[in-house]
Chain A
Amino acid sequence: MIAFLIKRLFHALLVMFVISIIAFAIQDNLGDPIQQMVGQSVPESEREILREQLGLNDPFLVQYLRFAGNALQLDFGYSYIFNQPTTEVILRHLPATLELVFATTLLIVLLSVPIGVYSAIRPRAWLSRFFMGVSIIGISIPVFLTAIMLIQLFAIGVSWSPFPAATGWGAWLNDLVSTEGGMPAYGRGNPVPVLGTWATNFASLEGLTYLVLPAISLASIMLPLFIRLIRAEMLEVLQSEYVKFARAKGISLRRIYFVHALKNTMLPVITMGGVQIGTLVAYTILTETVFQWPGMGLMFLNAIQRSDVPLIITYLMIVGLIFVITNTLVDLIYGLVNPTVKLTGKPA
């Protein structure tokens, strides 16, 4: 266990080192703090003095070490847009993103496992074929387009009357193909404050309605991916010798599916989950943009558009840290589920 953790920690440090180099390179090349501090009117000689004072003329390595030292204390300077320490800005935006990701993960986990398992157990059933068909369409629709369609359907509404409204049936059919709209699709509404800067959408029904469309959008692209993966892995496992042997032992089918097969199916799915965390973060940027969800993704995009370099760097470092932590957690979970992985560090 300790050896495993040390190995993971080393890997994590390496990744964070690479990210910090990239972040520093960005800062070094893009951000001219003098420009931001004093504006155009200050003459070059004064700027040079300021540069010297701030250590901007020091060798690269010295500057990097200073940057890394500050980074370890979570000090990345001030955001130009907000005129606040960047870490504070990020912390304020973090809860919105985390809640969106949490709701999405909940949707993915609750739906992908039963649907994936069902389509593997009954591959020829029409419902399975339906799920697989919807999955491939789902994968082919970019997340922002799903979001736009959901807004059109459920926030704006569609009134369509292809049938003659005069007859009773026509009006009923017109109602069927039209949607009402009215779902909130802009921002978070009024989340209930919980602690400090953290306000939650989970505490009220109204808050939850604000989560619905963004969470479905974000899930729409990951869910089919996991359904297809679970189905493919489960199909493979069901062909295995140990499943045949379990049947020869007279074990009930339910136990074979949900203990023997599912546990083995989940191993590659867990690995895939780790890989997909990064994708999920990328998709939060898109989803938050469409719904103006005030999370880190929207903040990052604003920072890019207004060249708020310190904020961009802080976002990259914090997201990198989140990746590293979640990937380590995923590896730990994998090791706990899979007995062939030695967490103890003893030679196998």
Chain B
Amino acid sequence: MALLDVNHLDVRFALRRGDVQALRDVSFSLERGERLGIVGESGAGKSVAAFSLLNLIAKPGYIAGGSIQFDGRELTQMSDRALRHVRGHRMSMIFQDPMMTLNPVLSIGEQMVECLKAHRRISNREARAIALNKLEQVQIPSPAARLDQYPHELSGGMRQRVIIAIALLLDPDIIIADEPTTALDVTIQAEIMALLLELCEKHNVGLILITHDLGVVSQVTQRMLVMYAGRVIEQGPTREIINDPQHPYTQGLINALPQMATPGSRLNQIPGSMPSLDNLPSGCAFHPRCGFVQRADGSTRRACIDEVPGFVTSGNCRVACHMVAEMLERERIPAEEIR
């Protein structure tokens, strides 16, 4: 049994004109100390997936179905009090924009100590000692002085280090990082990512990294999910997916990377844009943008337009695509004919 096991998770937003499904049938798992990347365009449901793990989706969002098993316990059924004990303690989060994440009127020390005291019975002095130790671990200059400073006195990169220190305070099993470097200067992004990776490896902390940066995913994570319009469309070992993407959308994402384009030519964009969640196309949500559908023969094409694709296994990866399913089918039949 994996440390974290998410099965058929459905998340909806109750809006006035009816429910909008933000996550549909999302399943994945995470082993202890494993690093998982969740990739997709903005609006694909990456952040919703991250926030739903700790049941922190903002209203009117709610978990409509599925299960989240963490260390053998079902999180979706847990009382708020019990769940609060998991938050920040066994699973902690790093947010996107460090300028907005820390409370401007509380000192760094207060914001660290309150987190420790929420989960452990310790004195202020012990809590400050732990906080100081964590600030040292994130290599912040003059850590002792930082405890009494306020967020506005720190730069963005330093604040993100403080937030990483807060995430590590209680030695959690899993850290969920929601685009932890997007809001930072490019020069600092690599530093922060390297620090996060180093700390996770050193303390054997699992990492769920949400990002749209395929480069970062390939450097940091061992396995990855690709999401599109609220669904997981491909998942498996990061290396395999990056080297040999199966789903046309994943292929498009990788092809769109600037380094994949011939110098001097245009970048390889995926035509069109992601549909909005309250107006999803029928069948495979990607079919209006998919280059293969136009070339596919009648029955597969109809399947793409009418049927939501299920997962098929290809190597170590699982892919939700009619085209891939058909190709695998074709490969299998000749193999049987030879025998």
Interface residues of A (CB under 8 A from B): 239-252, 255, 259-260, 263-264, 267, 337-340, 348
Please report the total number of B residues contacting A with Cβ < 8 Å. 30
Given contacts A240-B100, A247-B56, 11 further A-B contacts (CB under 8 A): A245-B163, A248-B54, A248-B92, A250-B89, A250-B115, A251-B114, A251-B118, A252-B84, A259-B114, A267-B105, A339-B105
Closest to A255 in B: B114
* CB-contacts of B70-88 with A (<8 A): 84-88
Closest to B107 in A: A339
Task: Say which residue of A243, A250, A264 sits within 8 Å of B88 (CB atoms).
Answer: A250
Q: Is B95 an interface residue (CB 8 A)?
A: yes
CB–CB B95/A249 < 8 A = no
CB–CB A249/B105 < 8 A = no
Determine how close the nearest CB of chain A comes to the CB of B127; give it in whole angstroms: 13
- Known pairs A241-B100, A245-B93, A245-B95; A250 contacts B87 (CB<8 A): yes
Closest to A245 in B: B101
Determine how close the nearest CB of chain B comes to the CB of A19; give it in whole angstroms: 35
Determine how close the nearest CB of chain B comes to the CB of A254; give it in whole angstroms: 11
User: What's the Cα separation between A209 and B171 when bound, in Å?
Assistant: 60
Closest to B115 in A: A249
A-side contacts of B95, CB under 8 Å = 241, 244-245, 248
Determine how close the nearest CB of chain A comes to the CB of B276; give it in whole angstroms: 22
User: What's the Cα separation between A249 and B104 when bound, in Å?
Assistant: 16
Determine how close the nearest CB of chain A comes to the CB of B103; give it in whole angstroms: 4
CB–CB A340/B119 < 8 A = no
- Known pairs A251-B88, A251-B115; A246 contacts B166 (CB<8 A): no
Q: Is B32 an interface residue (CB 8 A)?
A: no
User: What's the Cα separation between A340 and B107 when bound, in Å?
Assistant: 11
Determine how close the nearest CB of chain A comes to the CB of B37; give it in whole angstroms: 20
Determine how close the nearest CB of chain B comes to the CB of A226; give it in whole angstroms: 20
* Candidate in A250, A251, A340, A348 with the most chain B CB atoms within 10 angstroms: A250
CB pairs A–B below 8 angstroms (14 shown)? A241-B100, A242-B102, A242-B103, A243-B103, A247-B56, A248-B88, A249-B88, A249-B115, A250-B88, A250-B115, A250-B118, A250-B119, A263-B103, A348-B152
CB–CB A263/B100 < 8 A = no
Closest to A261 in B: B103
B-side contacts of A337, CB under 8 Å = 105
CB–CB B150/A340 < 8 A = yes
User: What's the Cα separation between A248 and B118 when bound, in Å?
Assistant: 12
User: What's the Cα separation between A339 and B109 when bound, in Å?
Assistant: 14
CB–CB B84/A250 < 8 A = yes
Interface residues of B (CB under 8 A from A): 54, 56, 58, 84-89, 92-93, 95, 97, 100-107, 114-115, 118-119, 150, 152-153, 163, 166
The 8 closest A-B pairs by CB, nearest first: A250-B88, A249-B88, A250-B87, A241-B100, A339-B150, A248-B93, A242-B103, A249-B115
CB–CB A244/B58 < 8 A = yes
- Known pairs A241-B95, A252-B118; A246 contacts B107 (CB<8 A): no
B-side contacts of A244, CB under 8 Å = 56, 58, 95
CB–CB B88/A242 < 8 A = no
A-side contacts of B101, CB under 8 Å = 241-242, 245
CB–CB A339/B85 < 8 A = no
User: What's the Cα separation between A267 and B105 when bound, in Å?
Assistant: 10
B-side contacts of A252, CB under 8 Å = 84, 118
Determine how close the nearest CB of chain A comes to the CB of B175; give it in whole angstroms: 11
Closest to A340 in B: B152
CB–CB B86/A250 < 8 A = yes
User: What's the Cα separation between A339 and B104 when bound, in Å?
Assistant: 8
User: What's the Cα separation between A250 and B167 when bound, in Å?
Assistant: 11
A-side contacts of B163, CB under 8 Å = 245
User: What's the Cα separation between A248 and B177 when bound, in Å?
Assistant: 12
Determine how close the nearest CB of chain A comes to the CB of B241; give it in whole angstroms: 29
User: What's the Cα separation between A11 and B87 when bound, in Å?
Assistant: 49
A-side contacts of B118, CB under 8 Å = 249-252, 255
CB–CB B104/A248 < 8 A = no
B-side contacts of A348, CB under 8 Å = 152-153
CB–CB B105/A338 < 8 A = yes
A-side contacts of B153, CB under 8 Å = 348
Determine how close the nearest CB of chain A comes to the CB of B151; give it in whole angstroms: 9
Task: Say which residue of A239, A263, A267 sits within 8 Å of B106 (CB atoms).
Answer: A263
CB–CB B104/A340 < 8 A = yes
User: What's the Cα separation between A332 and B74 when bound, in Å?
Assistant: 50
* Candidate in A244, A245, A252, A340 with the most chain B CB atoms within 10 angstroms: A245
User: What's the Cα separation between A260 and B115 when bound, in Å?
Assistant: 12
A-side contacts of B86, CB under 8 Å = 250
Determine how close the nearest CB of chain B comes to the CB of A243; give it in whole angstroms: 8
Determine how close the nearest CB of chain B comes to the CB of A333; give it in whole angstroms: 13
User: What's the Cα separation between A244 and B58 when bound, in Å?
Assistant: 9
A-side contacts of B92, CB under 8 Å = 248-249
Task: Say which residue of B58, B103, B105, B150 sits within 8 Å of A246 (CB atoms).
Answer: B103
CB–CB A242/B115 < 8 A = no
* Candidate in A249, A260, A337, A339 with the most chain B CB atoms within 10 angstroms: A249
Determine how close the nearest CB of chain B comes to the CB of A235; give it in whole angstroms: 12
CB–CB B166/A249 < 8 A = yes
Determine how close the nearest CB of chain B comes to the CB of A263; give it in whole angstroms: 5
CB–CB A248/B56 < 8 A = yes
Determine how close the nearest CB of chain A comes to the CB of B48; give it in whole angstroms: 13
CB–CB B87/A248 < 8 A = yes
Task: Say which residue of B89, B93, B104 sits within 8 Å of A264 (CB atoms).
Answer: B104
User: What's the Cα separation between A255 and B113 when bound, in Å?
Assistant: 13
Determine how close the nearest CB of chain B comes to the CB of A246; give it in whole angstroms: 7
User: What's the Cα separation between A239 and B168 when bound, in Å?
Assistant: 25
Closest to A337 in B: B105
B-side contacts of A255, CB under 8 Å = 114, 118
A-side contacts of B104, CB under 8 Å = 242, 264, 338-340
CB–CB B87/A249 < 8 A = yes
User: What's the Cα separation between A246 and B150 when bound, in Å?
Assistant: 16
User: What's the Cα separation between A217 and B272 when bound, in Å?
Assistant: 63
